[in-house]
Amino acid sequence: MSRKYFGTDGVRGKVGTEPMTADFAMRLASAAAQVLIPDGGTVLIGKDTRLSGYMFESALEAGFVAAGIDVLLLGPLPTPGIAQLTQQFMADLGVVISASHNLYEDNGIKFFDRSGAKLSDDIERKIEAHLAKPAITRESGLLGKAKRIDTARVRYQEFAASTFPAGQTLKDFKIVFDGANGAGYKVGPRTLSALGADVIPIGCSPNGRNINDGCGSTHTELLQLTVPAVRANVGIALDGDGDRVVMVDEFGKLVDGDQMLYILATALHRSGRLTGPVVGTVMSNLGLEHALNSVDIEFRRAAVGDRYVLETLRETGGVIGGETSGHMIVLDQTTTGDGLVCALQILAVMKETGRTLSELAAGMSKYPQVMLNVRTGKQFDPAASAVIQEAVVAAENELAKSGRVVLRASGTEPVIRVMVEGENHAQVVALAERLAAVVAVAAR
């Protein structure tokens, strides 16, 4: 049975439109409480910097307290910080209010279990089954309590810093940090500064409306200009909720999730700490697979979404995986994607090897890859269209064995992502545009 509200990363949508309303948030909290902690317990709630976060925080708090659950309010904190503190506080559930890399008009709600892992598809279906019912309110003596935790930010900063090698510092490193005007706007600069780095912050002045707006991991133009302009060693860009990261080398060139995965995997391999395969997704660049295979590192592909990368890592005994977008999972350090922690691991490799980021990334050659988003206005499965599948087969035949074609429906919006990669850039562009045109017509 498919899920109606939950996508690849929780529930998400435009604020004021179902499901992102105060009423729905209250019912979602009540449903989650009934499914996961029917006999009472403790829930942590954190958020990013969106204006609507106040509303959803209050609605979720009301829903959980009415269901007899105690609530700890963390305030603005990166998603991985909420996952980590769920474990620290031995809470039964962690809740994040965020729409990740989307603009402020959107928001979302996602959950972590007591181990700091995201919920399974099956549990999300069970929660959805309760959503048709009104939120419950227990009798007065059985209601939960709520309080705000003022130490949450410091606790996460200390955790993130602890993942950097003991005895090492970032002294003599100049780092430009872009917080996307989001949840990492304070913890990022403060953690890096505490480790000795000279930090130049940009995108660290949230006002409730400017999250991901021309900044962060999805808009790195300013970061790419700033790093070489101030002669920084490196640039770091998180997304709005801090679970993704991309980096910029000393020349201002973007280093994406595939390249970071290559750097971390080969470093772990050299040190003998790499176990199991490295896990990417169906969208990971073919150059990553070839580069890892060339040094005898196994590579596996999972479905798009960090939860599926994590599932594959656990199934295969792997410790590192991620997505091109910069959603990285380093299981010997964290339980979920953590942009700041991942960046610290890259900085540790730079420090250990004495090599620049550009030198470390040079070991992987990226294949030309083009991804076009075709907005459909409705949910649409490209695999169900014979016309589209015929066009895909034709494109694959044209690429022969030197490239790939991937079509997939977005899990968070009515968009079909058309990805083509291969050795010849002009051919890749032409095939992607041809397929996008076919999808646009078929999806009407």
Q: What is the mean pLDDT of residues 9-35?
A: 96
Determine phi and psi for 298, rounding to 5 degrees. -70, 140
Note whether 179 and 244 are same-domain residues: yes
Which residue's entry shows tokens 């439109």?
17
Residue 413 maps to which CATH number? Answer: 3.30.310.50
- On whether residue 433 sits in a domain, the answer given is yes
Residue 367 has pLDDT above 80, yes or no: yes
Determine what percent of the chain is predicted with pLDDT higher than 70.
99
Q: What is the pLDDT, as a whole number, of residue 58?
A: 98
34 is a domain residue: yes
d(CA 330, CA 337): 7
Region 257-273: what's the mean pLDDT? 97
What pLDDT was estimated at residue 2? 66
Q: Both 116 and 22 in a single domain? A: yes
The pLDDT confidence band at residue 412, using thresholds 50, 70 and 90, is low
Q: Do 30 and 145 lie in a common domain?
A: yes
Give tens-digit pLDDT for 48-83: 999 999 999 999 999 999 999 999 999 999 999 999
The pLDDT of 154-162, averaged and rounded, is: 98
In contact, 46 and 74? CB cutoff 8 Å: yes
| Mean pLDDT confidence for 78-106 | 97
Last residue of a domain, one of 254, 286, 311: 254
Provide the residue type at 3 as one letter: R
Q: For residue 8, give every residue at least 6 positions away whose Cβ sits within 8 Å of its Cβ, in sequence order, or none.
A: 304, 305, 307, 308, 411, 412
Exposed, middle or buried: residue 423 (CB in 10 Å: 0-12, 13-18, 19+)? middle
Tokens representing residue 174 in the block: 């100049």
List, as one string, the DSSP characters of 206-231. Answer: --SS-TTSS-STT--HHHHHHHHHTT
Same domain, 380 and 330: no
Q: Is the pLDDT of residue 47 over 90?
A: yes
Q: Hey, what are 232's tokens?
A: 């920084």
- Pairing of the two strands 403-409 and 328-330: unpaired
Residue 411 lies in a domain: yes
Indicate if the pLDDT at residue 409 is higher than 90: no
**Mean per-residue pLDDT of the chain:** 95
Clarify whether residues 47 and 92 are in a common domain. yes
Q: For residue 212, is it within any domain?
A: yes
Calculate the CA 231 to chain-centre distance.
Answer: 29
385 is catalytic: no
Strand order in the sheet with 320-322: 299-302, 278-281, 320-322, 328-330
Q: What pLDDT score does 12 carry?
A: 95
CA proximity to 329, closest of 268, 276, 279? 279
Contact 238, 244 (CB under 8 A): yes
On whether residue 115 sits in a domain, the answer given is yes
Q: Are residues 69 and 132 in the same domain?
A: yes
pLDDT at residue 262 greater than cutoff 60: yes
Cis peptide before 134 (omega within 30 of 0): no
Residue 238 lies in a domain: yes
Same domain membership, residue 392 and residue 281? no
Shared-domain flag, residues 189 and 139 = no
Task: Grade residue 240 by pLDDT with cuts at 50, 70 and 90.
Answer: very high
- Do 122 and 106 lie in one domain? The reply is yes
- Report how far Cα 40 is from the mean position of its chain's Cα atoms: 30
3-state helix, strand, coil in the chain (%, to 5): 40, 20, 40
Measure the CA–CA gap between 369 and 420, rounded to whole angstroms: 6
In 277-377, where does DSSP find H-type helix? 286-294, 306-316, 339-353, 357-361
Last residue of a domain, one of 226, 254, 282: 254
124 and 262 part of one domain: no
Q: Judge if 241 and 272 occupy the same domain.
A: no
Please say which residue of 254, 270, 287 terminates a domain.
254
Please check whether residue 167 lies inside any domain of the structure: no
pLDDT at 230: 98
- At a CB cut-off of 8 Å and minimum separation 6, what does 220 contact? 178, 235, 237, 246, 248, 254
Question: Is the pLDDT assigned to residue 288 strictly greater than 60?
Answer: yes
Sole residue written with tokens 């009540």: 30
C-alpha to C-alpha distance for 36 and 424, rounded to whole angstroms: 51
Do 307 and 8 touch, CB atoms closer than 8 A?
A: yes
Domain count, the chain: 4
Q: Are 131 and 37 in contact (CB under 8 A)?
A: no
> Is 33 within a domain?
yes
- Residue tagged active-site, from 100, 217, 284, 385: 100
Q: How far apart are CA 379 and CA 225, in angstroms?
A: 38
Mean pLDDT of 277-306: 94
Q: Looking at the structure, tell me whether residues 245 and 298 fall in a common domain.
A: no
CATH code of residue 229 = 3.40.120.10
Compute the residue count for the chain: 444
Other Cβ atoms closer than 10 A to 232: 24
When pLDDT is averaged across residues 169-187 and rounded to a whole number, the result is 98
Which residues constitute the domain of residue 34?
Answer: 6-153
Q: Smallest Cα–Cα separation from 366: which of 285, 245, 300, 426?
A: 285
